Structure 1
Amino acid sequence: MDNNYKEEQYGFSPLTESYVPPQAKTSGKAIASLILGIISLITLPLGGSIVLGIIGFISGIVAIVFSSLSFKEIKRGQVRGRGMAIAGLVCGIFSTALNVLAFVISFVIAFVNAKNNM
């Protein structure tokens, strides 16, 4: 056997390393905003329980705060994740508004019931 056997060249060079620019990192605040917004939506139907209602309300507010902070980071161009920040903001606003509405309705019902029992 001939050890000097070479395969035919087909007119292209072997793969070489090329420069790939580094990807911008995703904002941790945007991820946290999305997760907290989803938690606030999950606890929304379970809001009949006082503890879960409070957890949903607080996580919705924190989701709104984290999304606004992540918008500032994204605007500076340091990180990406605008879609997650928007989703977290929408989920947070929606669940917080519904939690406040549920609280007001339950307060009015309790007030009317107390007034009728007098």
Structure 2
Amino acid sequence: MGGYSLDNNYKESRYEFSPLTQSYVPSQAKTSGKAITSLILGIISLITLPLGGIIVLGIVGFFSGIVAIVLSSLSFKEIKRVQVRGRGMAIAGLVCGIVATSVNVLAFVISFVNGFMNAINNV
């Protein structure tokens, strides 16, 4: 057996470990990739917001904001289910995505109404 022999001399077993030589270091929790991606896309949608006059960047900002919203909601579910980190990043990605998408929609509506009113006045 492992600890003592018949002559009461202590022999160390290969299955035991000394608490002085080996220590337990808890592993860090993994961060959700969806939360990181939603934060990055939310920031991209905010950066392209002032450049929305350029149609391509306005479209990129709009769709990256929508994808940021979707990914952050998926990451909330993943964080709850799998116990990973990244809740703060998911919240930041959600907020950035909502703000950028709503401002893009508002700018589109204002420019559409403005163009419509100019077309009516020119008739």
Gaps of 5+ in 1: 1-14
**Residues 1:78 and 2:68 aligned together:** no
SS in 1 for 2:26: coil
Q: State the Cα deviation string for residues 13-34 of structure 1 (Å, max 9, x = none).
A: xx74310111110000000000
SS in 2 for 1:17: coil
Aligned residue in 2 for 1:45:
50
Count, aligned residues: 104
Aligned residue identity for 1:107 = F
**Residues 1:59 and 2:73 aligned together:** no
Q: TM-score, normalised by structure 2?
A: 0.82
Superposed structure 1 runs of 4+ greater than 6 Å apart? none
Residues of 1 paired with 2:58 and 2:93: CA distance?
18
Match of 1:32 among 34, 37, 41: 37
Q: TM-score, normalised by structure 1?
A: 0.85
Gaps of 5+ in 2: 1-19
Match of 1:92 among 94, 97, 106: 97
Q: Report the aligned-residue RMSD.
A: 1.0
**Residues 1:108 and 2:113 aligned together:** yes
Report sequence identity in percent.
Answer: 84
Residues of 2 paired with 1:60 and 1:47: CA distance?
13
SS in 2 for 1:19: coil
Aligned residue identity for 2:53 = G
Aligned residue identity for 1:92 = G
